[in-house]
Amino acid sequence: MLSRLVLTDFRNHAALALAPGPGFVVLTGENGAGKTNILEAVSLLAPGRGLRRATLGAMARQGGAGGFGVAATLGEGVDLATGTLPSAPERRIVRVQGATASANALPEWLSVLWLTPATDRLFVEPAGERRRFLDRLTLALSPAHAHHATRYEAAMRERNRLLADDRSPDPEWLGALEARMAEHGAAVDAARLATVQALDDRLAATPPGPFARARLRLEGEAVEADAFARALALGRRRDAAAGRALTGPHRADLSVTHADKQQPAALCSTGEQKALLMGLVLAHADLVAERTGATPLLLLDEVAAHLDPVRRAALFERLAGRGQVWLTGTEAALFDAIGADATRVELG
């Protein structure tokens, strides 16, 4: 959990300090008050570009100095911070206990998962959105996943550049890049597959309830390092013509099916899709707590707005006791079923 959160020149917050307690943290206020901005700031305490996937420059407050800061203290006294300097608004700085660190080191201290209104379209968006979602789930179970994914993407980008810009690229350099892609790509694929299998088993054992159960499958060719390296070498001319690598874990997709209806999630109703997502995230939080002994921080943006009172109460009941859960909404009455055991913040 976070015991302290300080924002400086982040989005619409010139200076904001919160001291959230354990359990529910409920942020309420009118549209535009900055509720989602706070969740976005917390999401930056994980690798990646946060829950909006915005550029760093867009996060700095308009009219501010040009940079921003997000600082947090974990319950056990660990200080995490991230932000940018006015002189380098697109260069992210990460600090752990005051020392400069890589963003890939953050999962060692904190696991963060989120659902936003934009996530509701996950099942009808292109496959890349589901891969990013799956990678966040995988990261919570395997912190090294961020390292392998970053190295794989970097090697792939360099290989693509060589194939596009050089009519006679150095075969030894290409071979080295392909070996790097094969090594890290196999690790990425294995971690994703293990996450999908473990989560699917967990969901299958979940008794029926108010949230639809999903069945999961990782679609795409299995990645074995040596075979993948050979495929990349043989496919250089094809990939050069396409302008990108046409095989590898960057082409995988997360297949989700409504278990009780045996229907692809993309064909389910909007309400069913939201229920599938919620059930999936709750099962994953249980799995992470079981595997690591640390419950992930949950950021749920406007999650209660479109639930009927019965499902809303059921959601709060299932979220209770799961560590720190951040919720946003325009009306405080939406969270009456939580009771008094919550940190409540009303933003003006």
In a domain, 193, yes or no: yes
In a domain, 153, yes or no: yes
Assign 3-class secondary structure to the chain. CEEEEEEEEECCEEEEEECCCCCEEEEEECCCCCHHHHHHHHHCCCCCCCCCCCCHHHHECCCCCCCEEEEEEECCCCEEEEEEECCEEEEEEEEECCEEECHHHHHHCCCEEEECHHHHHHHHCCHHHHHHHHHHHHHHHCCCHHHHHHHHHHHHHHHHHHHHHCCCCCHHHHHHHHHHHHHHHHHHHHHHHHHHHHHHHHHHCCCCCCCCCEEEEEECCCCCHHHHHHHHHHCHHHHHHHCCCCCCHHHCEEEEEECCCCEEHHHCCHHHHHHHHHHHHHHHHHHHHHHHCCCCEEEECCCCCCCCHHHHHHHHHHHCCCCCEEEEECCHHHHHHHCCCEEEEEEC
Q: Give residue 59's pLDDT.
A: 97
Domain total of the chain = 1
What is the sign, positive or negative, of the torsion defined by CA atoms of 172, 178, 184, 187? negative
Residue 17, pLDDT score: 97
Residue 221 maps to a domain: yes
> Can you give the pLDDT of all 348 residues of the chain as single tens digits?
899 999 999 999 999 999 999 999 999 999 999 999 999 999 999 998 999 999 999 999 999 989 999 999 998 799 999 999 999 999 999 999 999 999 988 988 998 999 999 898 999 999 999 999 999 999 989 989 999 999 999 999 999 999 998 678 889 999 999 999 999 999 999 999 999 999 999 999 988 777 788 999 999 988 999 999 999 999 999 999 999 999 999 999 999 999 989 999 999 988 889 889 988 998 999 899 898 888 889 999 998 877 778 888 888 988 888 889 999 999 999 999 998 889 999 998
- For residue 223, give the nearest of 162, 148, 164 by alpha carbon: 148
- Look at residue 238 in the predicted model and tell me its pLDDT: 95
d(CA 180, CA 148): 10
Structure confidence at residue 314 (pLDDT): 85
- Examine residue 224 and state whether it is found in any structural domain, yes or no: yes
Tell me whether residue 69 is in a domain. no
Whether residue 168 is contained in a domain is answered as: yes
Which residues span the domain enclosing 190? 133-268
Which CATH number does the domain housing residue 139 bear? 1.20.1050.90
Residue 3 covered by a domain: no
With respect to residue 91, please indicate whether it lies within any of the assigned structural domains: no
